[in-house]
Amino acid sequence: MDVLNVEYMLGLVPVLLRYLPLTLQLAGIGMVLALILACLFAVVRVLRIPVLNQLTIVFISFFRGTPLLVQLFLFYYGLPQLVSALTVIDGITATIMGLTMHFSAYMAESIRAAIVGVDRSQTEAALSIGMTNGQMMRRIVLPQATRVALPTLMNYFIDMIKATSLAFTLGVTELMGATQKEAAGSFLYFEAFIVAAIIYWIVVELLSKLQHYLEIRLNKAYSR
Amino acid sequence: MKTLLINTLLTITLLASAPLLAQEGPLRVGMSGQYFPFTFVEQDELKGFDVDVMNALAKEMGREVKYETANFSGLFGMLESGRIDTVANQITITEERQKAYIFSDPYVYDGAQVVIKKGNTEVESVEDLKGKTVAVNLGSNFEALLRELPYADEINIKTYESNLERDTALGRVDAFVMDRVSASQIIKEKPLPLELAGPTFSQITNAYPFRDTEAGRALRDEVNRALATLRDNGTLASISEKWFGTDITQP
């Protein structure tokens, strides 16, 4: 039993890969929604829009201040207890909701930091030629902030991919859930989990390559 | 803006999953998929004693089955929130659970068993657990059984989501407590250096839990009728023989 069962590991690869699309789907949809939410939050915070600003602060505080697993349990088990019709929130939806809200709270802060980091002369110049706040944001500030925010946002996406491994607690058999069940059937824990780890690793490595490519593109205007 | 977004999200979800609201449809059965040999996965296929029995029951009842796998600690939440109709995971009938759920007739009779790492001479029976660290599955009734012991205060109980067999084999805990049937099966079939310590210390009966509602009671009666038929025609016994080489479905 001390010898690594390579044959078992190789056999497990195609089985586990079947669950990778779901993992990527959870993280992908979660990331798009989280980005939209986070941008809205960041703009609200930067422009200090009354009422919305305060609400956003509370939202960010709650979703940064509580563990993701607690939030997932709240969405999945908690909400239907209050309103029984909310049983229609299935495990996949609850996971996406949890990932979206949790990560949007973090991402809002790093987007806000990127916006605030854009040099003041840029906003002053935009306003001096008669741009509205919205125009200034869209045309001058956000494009520059994107470049600054990209590395940290990519970081959150990578984190989110790994966070999908919590979904099995809500009955969603994604990559981690499939691995846990296979390991429980074979009792070859090391073999099963190392295969899962390598799959996650390769996916994240590919994303890092994408990030590198995007950074080069966004830096074009600055390189000579 | 934010509430609007959340509302939109919720509405989309509601619309998308509206068909799920319909009562008709397959019997939704929850299990962990992590309790060898009752429910486990091999090469993407869900197998085990509980799968076979549930399939036979559904066939008898003329219904389709849809299995929902989730970590054990999530199963009762899924039952409670109406996402599954019952749990097929060797659920032991306990007083606590009877307060919240109604149970079918028992379909497995078993006992609680102490399991140790092979060669551990310090623990030879349940009495020796005094002052030791003992692993049990989170949410399982074995924790409650240990706490009922007169010297419960002196036992350091550690709860696991899964993989407690491995941790015992590694020596991280002194023993784990599980039902005798699956413990023997794990020792027989899996490459872990474990052995049984002493006889079983508590009789347990396992059955299917249902929500205590009109629909739940109707389903329980339907399952009980099917169980009785399978018991009489020998199906239950033969499924048990297949997995355990003995009939665990009789008291």
Q: Residue A30 — very low, low, confident or very high, per pLDDT cuts 50/70/90?
A: very high
Angle between helices B235-244 and B49-61 (to 10 degrees): 160
Those residues whose C-beta lies under 8 Å from the C-beta of residue A51, and which sit 6 or more positions away, are none
Residue B23: per-residue pLDDT: 46
Homologous superfamily, domain B109-204? Periplasmic binding protein-like II (3.40.190.10)
Residues A2-12 pLDDT 10s:
678 999 999 99
Select from B73, B55, B90, B63 the least CA-distant residue to B218.
B63
Select from B159, B155, B137, B158 the least CA-distant residue to B146.
B155
CA distances from B74 to A217, B77, B84, B91, B247 (A): 45, 5, 11, 13, 30
From CA A121, how far away is CA A201, in angstroms rounded? 42
ipTM over 0.95 threshold? no
Q: Name the residue with higher pLDDT: B105 or A77.
A: B105
CATH number attached to the domain at A6-222:
1.10.3720.10
From CA B71, how far away is CA A171, in angstroms rounded? 7
How far is A144 from chain B, CA to nearest CA, in Å?
A: 25
pLDDT over threshold 50, residue B70: yes
Phi and psi at B78, nearest 5°, equal -70, -35
Q: Residue B203 — very low, low, confident or very high, per pLDDT cuts 50/70/90?
A: confident
CATH number attached to the domain at B20-102+208-244:
3.40.190.10
pLDDT over threshold 70, residue A85: yes
133-192 of A, contacting B, C-beta below 8 A: 168-173, 177-178, 180-189
Does an H or E element contain B216, and which? helix B214-232
10-39 of A, contacting B, C-beta below 8 A: 11, 15, 18, 33, 36-37
Q: Which one-letter DSSP state was computed for residue A78?
A: I
Is residue A188 within 8 Å of A5, Cβ to Cβ?
yes
> Under an 8 A CB cutoff, do A18 and B2 touch?
no
Question: CA triplet B157, B163, B165: central angle to 5 degrees?
Answer: 75
Percentage of chain A exceeding pLDDT 90:
73
116-135 of A, contacting B, C-beta below 8 A: none
From CA A23, how far away is CA B61, in angstroms rounded? 36
pLDDT over threshold 70, residue A191: yes
From CA B9, how far away is CA A88, in angstroms rounded? 13
> Under an 8 A CB cutoff, do B82 and A84 touch?
yes
B198 Cβ under 8 Å from any chain A Cβ = no
> Under an 8 A CB cutoff, do A90 and B83 touch?
yes
From CA A29, how far away is CA A155, in angstroms rounded? 16
Is residue B132 within 8 Å of B195, Cβ to Cβ?
no
- CATH 3.40.190.10 range(s) for chain B read 20-102+208-244, 109-204
